Amino acid sequence: MSMIFRAKAEKALDRAEDPRETLDYSYKKQLELLQKVRRGVADVATSRKRIEVQMTQLQSQSGKLQEQAQKALSLGREDLAREALTRRSGLQNQISDLEAQHQSLQGEEEKLTLAAQRLQAKVESFRTKKETIKASYTAAEAQTRIGEAFSGISEEMSDVGLAIQRAEDKTANMQARAGAIDELLASGALDDPTGTTKDDITLELDRLASTSDVELELSRMRQELSGGAEPPKQLEGNGAAPAADAAEPQRQREEGQL
Greatest Cα-to-Cα distance within the chain, rounded to the nearest angstrom: 225
pLDDT score, position 50: 92
3-state SS, residue 195: coil
pTM for the full predicted model: 0.47
Instruction: Specify the amino acid at residue 173.
Output: N
The answer to whether 138 and 20 are in contact (CB under 8 A) is yes
Contacts (Cβ under 8 Å, ≥6 apart) of 65: 84, 85, 87, 88, 91
Least confident stretch, 152-161, 192-201, 209-218, 238-247: 238-247
Q: How far apart are CA 162 and CA 156, in angstroms?
A: 10
pLDDT score, position 121: 92
Return the closest-CA partner of residue 34 out of 121, 109, 129. 121
pLDDT score, position 244: 45
Q: How far apart are CA 24 and CA 32, in angstroms?
A: 12
Q: How far apart are CA 38 and CA 120, in angstroms?
A: 10
Q: How far apart are CA 211 and CA 213, in angstroms?
A: 5
Least confident stretch, 45-54, 192-201, 212-221: 192-201
pLDDT score, position 1: 57
Q: How far apart are CA 125 and CA 114, in angstroms?
A: 17
Is the model's pLDDT at 189 over the cut of 70?
A: no
Is the model's pLDDT at 134 over the cut of 80?
A: yes
Is the model's pLDDT at 104 over the cut of 70?
A: yes
pLDDT score, position 192: 55
209-223 residue pLDDT tens: 777 777 888 888 888
The H-assigned helical ranges of the chain are: 2-16, 19-74, 78-187, 200-226, 240-257
pLDDT score, position 239: 43
3-state SS, residue 1: coil
Number of residues assigned to the chain: 258
φ, ψ for residue 236, nearest 5 deg: -60, 135
The answer to whether 123 and 30 are in contact (CB under 8 A) is yes
- Considering Cα of 117, then 120, then 125, then 126, what sign does the dihedral take? positive
pLDDT band at 162 (very low <50, low <70, confident <90, very high): confident
Q: How far apart are CA 251 and CA 249, in angstroms?
A: 5
